[in-house]
Amino acid sequence: MLLWVGLGNPEPGMARNRHNIGFMAVDAIASRHGFAPWRPRFKGLCTEGRIGLDKVMLLKPMTYMNLSGESVQAAAGFFKIEPARITAFHDELDLAPGKVRVKLGGGNAGHNGLRSMDRHLGTAHYWRVRLGIGHPGDKALVTNHVLGDFDKFDKEWLAPLLDAVADSAGLLADQKPEDFMTRIARLRGAEEQKNGV
């Protein structure tokens, strides 16, 4: 089994925050691949389904971002899932809006959700799908940027990005991160061309 974790905050008023793009990504995957309804478990909401031949559990920790690792550890411990079979979907300030990068391990770059996962898993060797939200340009503006809602113009890239992530999820499940990133870029490029962007 693979464990894919969307990072975000559970408050309904935060649902459209840039910080919640991880929740949005796993919601899109669950919808596209016909997963079971979300249900409370492991201090979060989870659902299970199949992507290709792979059984995947999707998890949205309801612990708030700073304690995400508690929920991830509970699910991973119950199913005895190794860190290398865990993937975190999260917002990334250091990537342009709509860009996606996948990496195994590495630092948390100050991301509280990743920091909590590192603390509870005892290792940084899990996968990260970094979803670009852009940097506001001034460190003093970062908190408001991250905890602010996506703007109207963000809809031009956000919905196509989430669609592309969901469409390409099979490549991620098959452990083909380069192909996953390439396909997302191609799908987004085709969408931009269609819309004359």
Domain range annotation of the chain: 2-194
Confidence category of residue 196, pLDDT binned at 50, 70, 90? low
Residue 15's pLDDT is: 96
- Mapping DSSP to helix (H, G, I), strand (E, B) and coil, where does residue 5 land? strand
CA quadruple 95, 100, 106, 110: dihedral, nearest 10: 40
Name residues whose C-beta falls within 8 Å of residue 57's C-beta, 6 or more positions apart in sequence.
1, 2, 3, 4, 46, 47, 48, 75, 79
Which of 19, 33, 90, 111 is an active site residue? 19
Structural class in CATH, domain 2-194: alpha beta
Indicate if 19 belongs to the active site.
yes
Mean pLDDT of 58-80: 97
Rounded-to-integer distance, Cα 39 and Cα 59, Å: 10
Q: Among 10-14, 75-79, 108-112, which is the least confidently predicted range?
A: 108-112
Mean pLDDT of 151-173: 95
Rounded-to-integer distance, Cα 19 and Cα 11, Å: 12
Name residues whose C-beta falls within 8 Å of residue 80's C-beta, 6 or more positions apart in sequence.
none
Confidence category of residue 107, pLDDT binned at 50, 70, 90? confident
Residue 188's pLDDT is: 84
User: Is the CB of residue 187 less than 8 Å from the CB of residue 159?
Assistant: no
Mean pLDDT of 58-78: 97
Residue 193's pLDDT is: 60
Write down how long the chain is. 197
Break the chain down into helix, strand, coil percent, rounded to 5: 45, 20, 30
Mean pLDDT of 86-97: 96
State the burial class of residue 194 (Cβ atoms within 10 Å of its Cβ: 0-12, 13-18, 19+). Answer: exposed
Residue 121's pLDDT is: 92
User: Is the CB of residue 161 less than 8 Å from the CB of residue 25?
Assistant: no
pLDDT in tens, 22-53: 999 999 999 999 999 999 999 999 999 999 89
Whole-Å CA distances, 77 to 37, 71, 80, 86, 117 = 22, 10, 5, 12, 13
Rounded-to-integer distance, Cα 43 and Cα 24, Å: 18
Give percent of the chain with pLDDT exceeding 90. 87
Residue 106's pLDDT is: 86
pLDDT at 70 over 60: yes
Residue 177's pLDDT is: 96
